[in-house]
Chains A and B, each alone.
Chain A
């Protein structure tokens, strides 16, 4: 195994970490502001991928199709999130975590069957446009072009989330509500609307992750099961509600998995979980400060 192959493998791991980051940043944001551990976040990711498939297939032309899919699929997912939040979830904020987890699990069960009804149990895939197929190489490192695109997408989302939470009024209010929702309410701000917006932003990120991952994987029922566990673990080792923690956790996940692929391919998936266990034992409340 030569060094450049190792570095290329790491880069692929990093690009996968970017998907994990986008998804878990959404989960973390919802967990931080609303205190809701959203189990159907993974279903939203899956729906994002399926909607992206439908849009890309409808558009026909690959480049246009992919661009439309990545632009529109997350919005569809955000709409699903908005409907669930306004009709059901918004009535449950006073309940304890266990009830919220079970509620979101119930929504997950329903959404899974909705996906089965709409798209069926077949595997689907999106063909990336010619410009994004094949390998990109720089500094002697080879990387699939689409993965290079993903490497860029992660930081863009991170910066966008930072601008949203620190440079917009509503984002600042959302951060304040994460710390003390009663006080925010006392100041005369409609906390319920802030929650709805924060939830929709979280769902949007799940959909974005799903749309972005779609061209690299086979889109199928069950793709929500792995991502949601990984996202939850990432959020926990990063520090609940801390978006930068989600970034650190995702990088740890992606890197340990690609190292695992080199060391012991059959059990590569074990490595991120092992890393999680070690982090949780060493720093039980996560690597970065939790907002809880």
Chain B
């Protein structure tokens, strides 16, 4: 795997601010359905970004990331509907519960490596999934929980959109700082050569668990935001198929870039919305796109675009 390139910080910061301004103004001009789709893209994008912290930067086979998304969403739903908690407390509890789940699952998983790590995570995650699926009195079983009462501000799509935009922007910023922090750099060093890091005194497992907990926290954040948008939860939120779909988003966008997974999520949600209008066979199209991608663009859309840019820059430099 390659180390992500450092682009000029000022240019990307400018682009981020411009993007944020455009997103903030969008509900003024855009139709309600587009606002809804955009909100869904932001939520899914945060989920993919959080996975990429462990997958792209940590090099861990995080096969069941959706579990943390589901734990966040269900914590909020159960706390509000069964526990009678105020919504804001549920919004705080969701990410924290997800982080706790990350700590538990991560603590077990980092004992193993690669495919075994992934398999243990799938079995632990499936345990949680079955509990959610079968524990009818609390989770509603396979029906899930619907019409979760939330504050009046969130009843409208636009209200939910602004909450989602603010939290996703903040979370993405924090994730970006984490990736660039000494912790993030060490994490990437571990990905590239765990043995060498161990030898120079880095606590490899502690860093990996830390990354899983952080990723789980932000996946849980995405989970509560999903509830803010949809006001319902169902067991497929922590099913392994969703985990693989997030994986595909990271690949689609490019997991060697910071924003790639967000782009991948945007493409995937947009595709689903557009293709889903014409046919219910949209998963077939996702499958075909995925296979084309693996054959022709293994570094994802963002990765390939970056490589092109770099090659052009290098070519121009060479000629000049």
Instruction: Name B124's closest neighbour in chain A (CB-CB).
Output: A277
A108 touches B123 (CB 8 A): no
| Chain A residues whose C-beta falls within 8 Å of the C-beta of B241 in the assembled complex | 225
In the complex, what distance in Å separates the CA atom of A110 from the CA atom of B119?
24
Instruction: Tell me if B134 and A266 are in contact (CB < 8 A).
Output: yes
Cross-interface CB contact of B288 among A91, A110, A117, A233, cutoff 8 Å: A110
A37-B115 contact in complex given A110-B287, A117-B281, A267-B130, C-beta closer than 8 Å: yes
- Beta-carbon contact of B108 and A281 below 8 Å: yes
State how many angstroms separate the Cβ of A42 from the closest Cβ of chain B: 11
Number of interface residues, chain A, beta carbon within 8 A = 41
Contact with A along B57-91 (1 / 0, CB 8 A): 00001000000000000000000000000000000
**Shortest beta-carbon distance, B280 to chain A, in Å?**
8
Q: Among residues 201 to 252 in chain B, which have CB atoms less than 8 Å away from a CB atom of chain A?
A: 239-241, 244, 247-248, 251
Within B232-275, the residues touching A (CB, 8 Å) are 239-241, 244, 247-248, 251
Complex CA distance for A95 and B296, rounded to whole angstroms: 13
Q: In the complex, what residues of B have CB within 8 A of residue A114's CB?
A: 284
Question: Can you name 17 A-B pairs with beta carbons within 8 Å?
Answer: A37-B115, A106-B248, A106-B288, A109-B286, A109-B290, A110-B288, A112-B283, A113-B287, A117-B281, A232-B122, A236-B116, A270-B130, A273-B123, A273-B127, A274-B127, A277-B127, A280-B116
Which among B108, B119, B134 is the interface contact of A236 at CB below 8 angstroms? B119
* A92: chain B residues within 8 A (beta carbon): 294-295
- In the complex, the 8 A-B pairs of residues with the closest C-beta atoms, listed nearest first: A109-B287, A106-B290, A113-B284, A110-B287, A236-B119, A106-B287, A106-B291, A276-B123
B171 lies within 8 A of chain A by Cβ: no
CB distance from A84 to the nearest CB of B (A): 10
Chain A positions within 8 Å of B247 at CB level: 98, 102, 105
In the bound complex, what is the Cα–Cα distance between A117 and B283 (angstroms)?
12
Mask of A108-134 contacts with B, CB within 8 angstroms, 1/0: 111011101100000000000000000
Given known contacts A102-B251, A270-B130, A284-B112, A277 and B284 CB-to-CB distance under 8 angstroms = no
Bound CA–CA A102/B293 (angstroms): 10
Contact present for A109 and B283 (CB under 8 Å): yes
Contact size class for B? 35 or more
Partner of B291, one of A88, A233, A270, A277: A88
B131 at the A interface (CB under 8 A):
yes
Question: Which of B134, B281, B287 makes the CB contact (< 8 A) with A116?
Answer: B281
Q: Which of B108-140 contact A (CB under 8 A)?
A: 108, 111-112, 114-116, 119-120, 122-124, 126-127, 130-131, 134
Whether, in the assembled complex, A55 has its beta carbon less than 8 Å from a beta carbon of chain B, the answer is: no
A229-B240 in contact given A110-B284, A110-B287 (Cβ < 8 Å): yes
The interface residues of chain A lying within 8 Å CB-to-CB of B119 are: 232-233, 236, 280
Per the bound structure, the CA–CA distance linking A219 and B317 in Å amounts to 62
**Chain A facing B: main interface SS:** helix
The number of residue pairs between A and B whose CB atoms lie closer than 8 Å in the complex comes to 107
Contact A233 B122 (CB under 8 A): yes
Chain A residue numbers with a CB within 8 Å of B239 are: 225
Contacts of A88 in B (CB 8 A): 291
* A266 CB contacts on chain B under 8 angstroms: 134
B291 and A103 contact, CB distance less than 8 A: yes
| A277:B283 contact, CB within 8 angstroms | no
Cβ 8 A contact of A270, one of B111, B131, B290 = B131
Contacts A105-B287, A266-B134, A270-B130 supplied; 6 other A-B pairs, CB < 8 Å: A37-B115, A88-B291, A95-B294, A225-B240, A240-B115, A269-B130
A98 CA to B294 CA, complexed, in Å? 10
B109 → A minimal CB distance (Å): 9
Residue B294 contacts which of A102, A236, A270, A277 (CB distance < 8 angstroms)?
A102
CA distance in complex: A23, B114 (Å): 23
B284 and A109 within 8 A (CB): yes
A233 to chain B, nearest CB (A): 5
Chain A proximity of B201: nearest CB distance (Å): 25
- Of A267, A276, A280, chain B has the most CB atoms within 10 Å of the CB of A280
The one of B114, B122, B283 in contact with A97, judged by C-beta atoms closer than 8 angstroms, is B114
Chain A residues, CB < 8 A from B144: none
Q: Does B298 contact A (CB under 8 A)?
A: yes
Which partner residue on chain A sits nearest B108 by CB separation?
A281
A7 at the interface (CB under 8 A from B): no
**A285 engages B116 (CB within 8 Å):** yes
Query: How far, in whole Å, are A105 and B131 apart by their CA atoms in the complex?
Result: 25
B134 — which chain A residues lie within 8 A by C-beta?
Answer: 266-267, 269-270
Given the complex of chains A and B, what is the CA–CA distance between A248 and B123 in angstroms?
17
A109 surroundings in chain B (CB, below 8 A):
283-284, 286-287, 290
Q: Give chain A residues whose Cβ lies under 8 Å from the Cβ of B295.
A: 91-92
In the complex formed, the residue of A with least CB distance to B64 is A229
Check B290–A280 contact: CB distance below 8 A. no
Chain B residues within 8 Å of A232, by CB = 119, 122
Contacts of A117 in B (CB 8 A): 281
Most chain A CB within a 10 A radius of its CB, from B114, B115, B131: B115
